[in-house]
């Protein structure tokens, strides 16, 4: 736990100082796993960094912290979120659960963990915008499990009154030309598509705020 705390502090410290002079800067934390971290790519090619660039091109000042951790699960997110949220944050983007599904963790456990993360965020920073990005499992996990897993995200989002992006990898998953050879992690082109889609959603949500 101590090493995890040290890692997170090192991650957020430069970010916290970078924009302290700009009151207009929106600070966004992307709490995710290897997809968010940009597995197999430089972090600058991962969708959080690309999204920040898109915002800048449109004249917005967004500071996007990539808190993606390869192999992380929803349970891991419950431990990391309180530390990450020690700094002022405008938007928390939660993109966890994919590894839960690949490990066959029961959907109700994942739902409980995601709910915990959201409640932690609301308690620490009540005015923060929270966005939950959904994931889906391949059919080889079994019809019942796949269906139950898919329902986690809309159910949690509705219960906790947070914004839902139904499927983070919409238009990217299962597309060979948009993924690394492992067929799981998006390549640079895949991240570009994710960034565009997420950016449009966040831009709409933040208009006037």
34 is catalytic: yes
Instruction: Pull the structure tokens for residue 60.
Output: 């917005």
74 is catalytic: no
Q: Maximum Cα–Cα distance for the chain, whole Å?
A: 52
70 is catalytic: no
In whole angstroms, give the CA distance from residue 184 to residue 102.
11
* Annotated catalytic residue within 34, 37, 49, 63: 34
* Annotated catalytic residue within 33, 37, 185, 191: 185
In whole angstroms, give the CA distance from residue 1 to residue 9.
12
Instruction: Pull the structure tokens for residue 202.
Output: 């966040």
- 143-160 helix and 107-124 helix, angle to the nearest 10 degrees: 20
Q: CB atoms < 10 A from the CB of 168, how many?
A: 25
Q: Are 17 and 89 in contact (CB under 8 A)?
A: no
Instruction: Pull the structure tokens for residue 64.
Output: 């996007």
* Annotated catalytic residue within 139, 143, 144, 182: 182
Instruction: Pull the structure tokens for residue 86.
Output: 């020690």
Instruction: Pull the structure tokens for residue 99.
Output: 């590894």
Residues belonging to the active site: 34, 182, 185
């Amino acid at each position: 736990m101590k090493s995890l705390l040290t890692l997170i502090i090192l991650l957020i410290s430069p970010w916290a100082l970078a924009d302290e002079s700009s009151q207009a800067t929106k600070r966004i934390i992307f709490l995710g796993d290897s997809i968010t971290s940009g597995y197999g790519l430089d972090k600058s090619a991962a969708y959080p960094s690309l999204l920040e660039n898109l915002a800048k091109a449109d004249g917005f000042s967004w500071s996007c912290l990539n808190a993606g951790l390869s192999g992380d699960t929803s349970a891991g997110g419950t431990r990391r979120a309180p530390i990450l949220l020690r700094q002022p944050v405008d938007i928390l983007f939660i993109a966890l659960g994919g590894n839960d599904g690949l490990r066959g963790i029961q959907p109700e456990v994942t739902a409980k963990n995601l709910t915990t993360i959201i409640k932690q965020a609301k308690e620490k920073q009540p005015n923060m915008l929270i966005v939950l990005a959904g994931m889906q499992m391949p059919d080889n996990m079994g019809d019942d499990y796949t269906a139950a897993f898919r329902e986690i995200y809309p159910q949690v989002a509705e219960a906790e009154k947070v914004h839902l992006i139904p499927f983070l990898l919409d238009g990217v998953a299962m597309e060979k030309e948009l993924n690394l050879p492992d067929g799981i992690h998006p390549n640079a082109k895949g991240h570009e598509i994710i960034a565009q889609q997420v950016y449009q959603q966040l831009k709409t949500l933040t208009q006037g705020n």
